[in-house]
Amino acid sequence: MATVTRGGFLTLAGIGTAAVLVGSELGFDLAQATEIKQKLRIAGATEAHSLCPYCAVGCSLIAYTRKEADGSVKLLQIEGDPDSPVNEGRLCPKGATSMQLATSERRVGQPLYRAPGATEWQKMSWDDMLGKIAQRIKDSRDQTFVATDKKGNLVNRTDGIAFAGGAAFSSEEGYFATKVMRGLGLTHLEQQARV
């Protein structure tokens, strides 16, 4: 435990008195300021630890949520996790706006499809979109699949499809995606992460 000397005590007392005087001079009440601090909108909120999905740095986040009277969960705030050795509580401007990923009114809430040559996007259900993607993958693979190369070597590959992952992938997702794509015969696999 730190020892406070007589001189140190007098200095602290002086600083405290000066703070009160400055507060009253500037027209605010320190007691009231303390009370306002206790009414933070995240007071009593549930903390959930997560990762910024934007880039390969992998900064840690804390998401504050609260259960509303109607049973729904409201996201109150997202900020950097001070306990993370990666970002120590900091976020870059992009990560600092990550709350908008969940709350922005401009967020796209369902798949959109624009037909070849069309200028307008049309809304599509997940079932229809996933079916369309699966059909496109099959068609491209069927048209470009190469069983043997010019020298007669067995290669079983398709150069007609490329796959790009992102830093938001977990290790398991990246492993799974790579297995699926290699299983289809893809040779062009890329990943945005550079760490």
Task: Provide the H-helix boundaries in 26-125.
Answer: 30-37, 93-96, 100-103
Least distance between ligand SF4 and beta carbon 90 (Å): 8
Position of minimal CB gap to ligand SF4? 95
Q: In the set 23, 42, 58, 137, which binds ligand SF4 (CB under 6 A)?
A: 58
Contact (CB, 8 A) for 94 and 87: no
Of the two residues 87 and 158, which places its CB atom closer to ligand SF4 in the complex? 87
How many amino acids of this chain bind ligand SF4 (CB under 6 A)?
A: 11
Residue whose C-alpha is closest to residue 103's, from 65, 133, 69: 65
- Helices first, then strands: H and E counts in the chain: 6, 8
Asked whether 168 and 174 are in contact (CB, 8 A), the reply is no
What is the C-alpha to C-alpha distance for residues 131 and 118, in angstroms, rounded to an integer?
A: 20
Q: Is there binding between residue 59 and ligand SF4 (CB under 6 A)?
A: yes
Smallest gap from Cβ 139 to ligand SF4, in A, equals: 36
Closer residue to ligand SF4, CB minimum distance, 58 or 165 = 58
| The one segment of 54-62, 100-108, 115-123, 183-191 that binds ligand SF4 by CB under 6 A | 54-62
- Parallel, antiparallel, or unpaired: how do β-strands 154-165 and 186-191 relate? parallel
Which of 42, 55, 124, 168 forms a contact with ligand SF4 (CB under 6 A)? 55
Task: Using alpha carbons only, give the angle 167, 113, 173 rounded to the nearest 5 degrees.
Answer: 25
Which listed range, 91-99, 112-120, 168-176, 186-194, lies at the site for ligand SF4 (CB under 6 A)?
Answer: 91-99
- By C-alpha distance, which of 69, 71, 88, 72 is closest to 80? 88
Between strands 154-165 and 145-148, the pairing is: antiparallel
By CB under 6 A, name the one of 62, 78, 91, 186 that touches ligand SF4: 91
Residue 49 engages ligand SF4 in binding (rule: CB under 6 A): no
Choice from 45, 54, 62, 158 touching ligand SF4 (CB under 6 A): 54
Identified binder of ligand SF4 from the candidate list 41, 67, 74, 94, rule CB under 6 A = 94
- Residues at the interface with ligand SF4 (CB under 6 A): 52, 54-55, 57-59, 87, 91-92, 94-95
